[in-house]
Amino acid sequence: MNENARIVIVGAGHAGGTAAALLRQHGHTGPIELIGEEPWVPYQRPPLSKAYLKDQADAEALKLRPDAFYAEQDITLRLGTRAQSIDRDGRRVALQGGGEARYDVLILATGSSNRKLDLPGAKPGDVLELRSLADAERLKRALGPGRTLAIIGGGYIGLEAAASARALGAEATVIELAPRVLARVACPELSAFFEAYHRGRGVEILTGSEVREVGYAKDRLSAVRLGDGRWVECDAVLAGVGAAACAKLARDCALDCDVGVVVDAVGRTSDPAIWAIGDVTFRPMAHYGHRRHRLESVPAAVEQARQTTAAILGLPAPAHEVPWFWSDQYDLKLQIAGIPFEADQRVVRGDIGAAKFAIFHLNAGRIVSVEAVNCPPEFMAGRQLIGQARAVDAAKLADPKVSMRDVAL
């Protein structure tokens, strides 16, 4: 690629911010423009449900890089600016409120957006959500001693918010439609463990329950009504019911899309001038026969930013990483590596009762995923074994006395 090529990145989040920095780090000298709808420089979202919500980190600590970095690196920031549409023939991005950004290379890094719940009775803005700093600020104001938070959705964000609410002295009720929390993302043993752990810390967990309506007393939100007619009292409601790729820009200009923007292993879309990275993509998973998947995780966003910037600049491709994810709740560190595609065996290592264990998912004798609670060595070794696709001895794997070094066949 021409070293003076004009690179435009839409989405100033984790993936977009990382890509802009890497392009300069790898020596790109042409113009780089980073367009973001939010008013802030790229920041980390994971603390929004954890340290930031608990007031243990401020907004400054969340920034990926200090404000001055972008001017120093000659990266043009257009914040508070939404990209409206893409003219692929003219290689132009139209911006909300007028104006445009011309590109030779366009990187889409628009992330995902929360699924909305349209609850009867709810006044606009009264059902809180959590994706941005502004959302976290609003939620933080609703928490504190004596307050009660009803959380719709027992996924990671819902459970992390419940743990943070408890740390701030608030009461929390998690209302989950599925028969167990984390139903879409974790195995039944892990769901049962997290339910028990939360209940042990005063969180009410209602599974198989649906919120049907929001109720008010004296004009203040005061309760939610469940499918069985029961009212659950609360001062605030948080919806954490999943997210979808922000792929509208891509769909509107007829790029190939599925549940996200379809990309190849290095982020190329169906238009050679347009690349996509992060939550918005539907990408091939190198360690799983290149089967496509959509990941919502920081490590995936960073890995794709590395892969894509190297490919754009014609540099050697970095090795593909085994996907991983983490969640912090109370004193628990959950680390997950891999994806349990077609797992046919589960092996538990360690002591679930002591909150120190790892659950391995195997397919034909090989580890395809590991869910580790307060067990970093098992997580690290598991991740490595997934990457190596080596068969393991399940009996040895189940025995914590056998070192993880000795479980491979």
- Which residues bind to ligand FAD, rule: CB under 6 A? 10-16, 35-38, 45-46, 48-49, 82-83, 109-111, 130-131, 157, 246, 249, 278-280, 296-299, 301, 325-327
- C-alpha neighbours within 13 Å on the C-beta side of residue 127: 23
Do the beta carbons of residue 3 and residue 267 sit within 8 Å?
Answer: no
The two three-digit tokens of residue 362, written as one number: 């195997």
Q: Least distance from C-beta 237 to ligand FAD, angstroms?
A: 16
Q: What distance in Å separates the CA atoms of residue 229 and residue 241, rounded to the nearest whole number?
A: 21
Nearer to ligand FAD, 267 or 392 (CB): 267
DSSP summary character for residue 6: -
Q: Least distance from C-beta 385 to ligand FAD, angstroms?
A: 21
Nearer to ligand FAD, 276 or 407 (CB): 276
Nearer to ligand FAD, 209 or 329 (CB): 329
Residue nearest to ligand FAD (CB): 13
Q: Least distance from C-beta 111 to ligand FAD, angstroms?
A: 3
DSSP-assigned beta bridge partners for residue 86: 93
The DSSP element (H or E) to which 220 belongs, if any, is strand 220-226
Q: Least distance from C-beta 168 to ligand FAD, angstroms?
A: 16
Residue with tokens 């997210």: 243
The number of helix segments (H) and strand segments (E) in the chain equals 10, 26
The two three-digit tokens of residue 205, written as one number: 């967990």
Nearer to ligand FAD, 149 or 407 (CB): 149
Q: Least distance from C-beta 14 to ligand FAD, angstroms?
A: 4
Q: Least distance from C-beta 219 to ligand FAD, angstroms?
A: 29
Q: What distance in Å separates the CA atoms of residue 151 and residue 123, rounded to the nearest whole number?
A: 17
**DSSP notation for 32-74:** EEEE-SSSSSSB-SGGGGTTTTTTSS-HHHHBSS-THHHHHTT
Q: Least distance from C-beta 354 to ligand FAD, angstroms?
A: 23
In this structure, the number of other CB atoms found within 10 A of the CB of residue 172 comes to 27
Nearer to ligand FAD, 49 or 309 (CB): 49
DSSP-assigned beta bridge partners for residue 151: 174, 238
Nearer to ligand FAD, 175 or 249 (CB): 249
Nearer to ligand FAD, 132 or 366 (CB): 132
Q: Least distance from C-beta 336 to ligand FAD, angstroms?
A: 9
The two three-digit tokens of residue 140, written as one number: 């933080």
Q: Least distance from C-beta 132 to ligand FAD, angstroms?
A: 7
Do the beta carbons of residue 108 and residue 305 sit within 8 Å?
Answer: no
Do the beta carbons of residue 282 and residue 259 sit within 8 Å?
Answer: yes
Beta strands in 286-323 (DSSP E): 291-293
Nearer to ligand FAD, 78 or 287 (CB): 78
Nearer to ligand FAD, 24 or 346 (CB): 24
